Amino acid sequence: METRFMFFTGKGGVGKTSLSCATAVEMADAGKRVLLVSTDPASNLSDVLESDVQETIAPVKGLNNLYAININPEVSAEEYRNRVTDPLKDILPADAIKKIKEELSGACTTEIASFDEFSRFISGEHEGGEFDVIIFDTAPTGHTLRLLELPAAWTEFTEENPDGASCLGPTSALKSSQQRYKTVVNRLRDAALTTFYIVSRAEASSLKEAARTSDELRELGMGNQKLYINGVFRALDNNDPVASKMQQMADEQLLAIPPALKPLEMTTYPLLPYNVLGIEKLRSLLQISLQQKFVANATSGKTEIDHELKSLADLVDEITAQQDHGLIMTMGKGGVGKTITASAVAMMLANKGYEVHLTTTDPAAHVKDFIGQMAEVPANLTVDRIDPKTETQRYIDKVLQQKGEKLDEEGKKLLLEDLKSPCTEEVAVFHAFSKAIHDARRKYVVMDTAPTGHTLLLLDTAGSYHREVMRNSNIDAARIKTPYMALQDTSLCKILLVSLPETTPMREAAALQNDLKRAGITPYAWVVNQSLSMLHGITDPLLKARAAAEIGVVDKIEKELAARTYGIPMIPEKNLLPEILEHFGRSKGTGV
């Protein structure tokens, strides 16, 4: 039985939007009045539906009873910041107002302000009339939902203890009441009303993230979940070695689903050779006969693929031609290949004879897994991790000691909940991050950053530290080099934005790049990972069609987004790092 509220959640690029839109179309075709709500800051609902979707409810072109709305979290967060600071404009100077806005620039503020907007759709207080089904493209995180559960004293606490509410500021600026939030959370827990569709790919990192999401929702009492595994590859040409290996690896992953996901009802959806855009192609996701027709059309014609990208070997050659030390950081959304990129760059630098330190702030710490694939690791390469849990606990203990002594038990509980935010983790690892920057003045430090999406908050912290040092130091300003300045120094720091050659990961990386530039930090290059269009000799029709579809995305990256672009081809191997190094060793100088 389908429930009234349907949430599609999962990492960027797994197909949440396609599946949520296809479900909305199917239900509208069945005669139900359906509202589709997106809270994705890089929403592409308009592209997928081929109908203009704005920030007010409007009908979708081509279907009488399907309606859609985009809630832009960034706009919601900015409106929230303004509601916080507007009453203070006649009291505080402009610099103080600016500082408050900076402190409210973290992802937690965005999450809560966004949920504040779309909670009205669950509470039934939205405009647009009555809907039989409301489908949400992206669900609130566990952290958001935990914050919503805080008792009524929450607002009083955050107003009286602004220093203890680093993520949210005075939450009285939210539009909704605590009672509405209570109603919303209860409806989310009601299995007769709400279903969570956890969307994943048949890949280890994507399934691990799906399992974490499932566990987190279950802990919050939201156990009505289903698992959708999207993009499952089935070879059309078994004589194509790349296609055969890709199918083998997908099959192995489906057999190795994490324990948390095994109890869930699972549905798989195939990797398709065409972009799912427009009502008919959305219908094809769930209608096999229509899908077969589109697959036949997409794979029948002659496909020309001619696209070269510079390799990681070229990237390393160019960096070492400029300097013999420095900080190289891989950034991007989870699952795009930051860790393998960092590991490969570190190995290439070490193989050139440079002293290299490879480190990660990723809680999953896959760096050691990749390095462990190597038969031999150069003596001049050291590998470690900045343990976010250890650093965070140390930071929490310090804050509780400093700020908790004047609070009662309820106040301490609220402060501790606030400190559970992802923002706290970013602040906590900043100290270790600063040490890595210091080391980069005498050797290469390659850092794989955590896929939390809160990179900007970390940089804002760096900026606050920078301003504090400049204001309070007696040292000549020309001699001070803070971490923030180091990140802005392109001669020392090279930031690599990693993306897959697909629309959603590209848009998410572009949004991150804009955030970095707002902080005065310019990425050195983009790395396009898992590129089929870099491979020669593909014969499988489906892979050839997908390789051709990459070209437009890669062209946009090269021409509009990146100062420099490098690529890693699709290599379907378990021991990926040695295979990548061997591939670039063979093809060095050819760009393939």
Q: Please report the DSSP string for 155-208 in residue order.
A: HHHHHH-GGG-TTTS-GGGSSS-HHHHHHHHHHHH-TTTEEEEEEEESSHHHHH
Q: Is residue 516 helix, strand or coil?
A: helix
Residue 518 is predicted with a pLDDT of 75
Radius of gyration for the alpha carbons in the chain, expressed in angstroms and rounded:
24
Q: For residue 471, how many other CB atoms are within 10 A of its CB?
A: 7
H helices of 35-177, in order, are 45-49, 73-85, 94-103, 107-123, 142-148, 153-160
Amino acid at residue number 445: V
CA-nearest of 23, 69, 7 to 282 is 23
pLDDT: which is higher, 413 or 216 = 216
Half-sphere exposure of 310 (CA within 13 A, CB side): 15
Fold for the domain defined by 5-73+123-165+178-297: Rossmann fold (3.40.50)
Query: Which token pair is 249?
Result: 């690896």
The segment with the largest mean pLDDT, out of 156-160, 422-426, 526-530, 582-586, is: 526-530
Known catalytic residues? 13, 15-18, 40, 504
| Cβ atoms 445, 328 nearer than 8 A | yes
- What does the DSSP 8-state code read for residue 87? G
Q: Where are the alpha helices (DSSP H) in 275-406?
A: 279-286, 288-300, 312-322, 338-351, 366-371, 388-403
Neighbours of 64 (CB within 10 A): 10
Are the C-beta atoms of residues 213 and 198 closer than 8 Å to each other? yes
Task: Identify the CATH homologous superfamily for domain 310-587.
Answer: P-loop containing nucleotide triphosphate hydrolases (3.40.50.300)
| pLDDT per residue as tens digits for the range 362-401 | 765 578 888 989 999 999 999 988 777 777 787 777 777 7
* pLDDT score, position 325: 95
Q: Is 37 helix (H, G, I), strand (E, B) or coil?
A: strand
pLDDT score, position 33 = 95
Question: Mean pLDDT across the stretch 426-451?
Answer: 75
Distance CA 534, CA 591 (A): 8
* 3-class state of residue 446 by DSSP: strand
Q: Which residue has the higher pLDDT, 85 or 402?
A: 85
Lowest mean pLDDT among 364-368, 447-451, 578-582: 447-451
Position 108 scores a pLDDT of: 66
The pLDDT assigned to 161 comes to 43
3-state SS, residue 448: strand
pLDDT of residue 590: 41
Name 308's Cβ contacts closer than 8 Å, sequence gap at least 6: 534, 591, 592
Q: Does the pLDDT of residue 146 top 90, yes or no?
A: no
414 — phi, psi (to 5°)? -70, -40
Task: Look at the block and give the residue holding tokens 């509009």.
Answer: 560
pLDDT at 227: 97
Q: Structure pTM? A: 0.77
| Beta strand pairing call for 66-70 and 58-59 | antiparallel
Contact 529, 554 (CB under 8 A): no
User: Does 455 have pLDDT greater than 60?
Assistant: no
The pLDDT value given to residue 151? 40
> How confident is the model over 348-363, as a mean pLDDT?
89
The torsion defined by the Cα of 177, 179, 184 and 187, in degrees rounded to 10, comes to -170
Topology agreement, domain 5-73+123-165+178-297 and domain 310-587: yes
Predicted local distance difference test score (pLDDT) of residue 588: 57
DSSP 379: T
Domain map (residue ranges) of the chain: 5-73+123-165+178-297, 310-587
What is the identity of the amino acid at 124? G
Cα distances from 341 to residues 299, 338, 511, 558, in angstroms, run 32, 5, 20, 18
Mean pLDDT for all residues in the chain: 81
Q: Which of 171-175, 264-268, 328-332, 463-467 holds the top average pLDDT?
A: 264-268
pLDDT band at 153 (very low <50, low <70, confident <90, very high): very low
Each residue of 162-196: pLDDT tens digit?
A: 444 445 555 556 666 667 777 888 898 999 999 99
Q: pLDDT of 53-108, one tens digit each?
A: 988 899 999 898 999 998 887 788 888 788 878 887 888 888 878 777 766 766 66
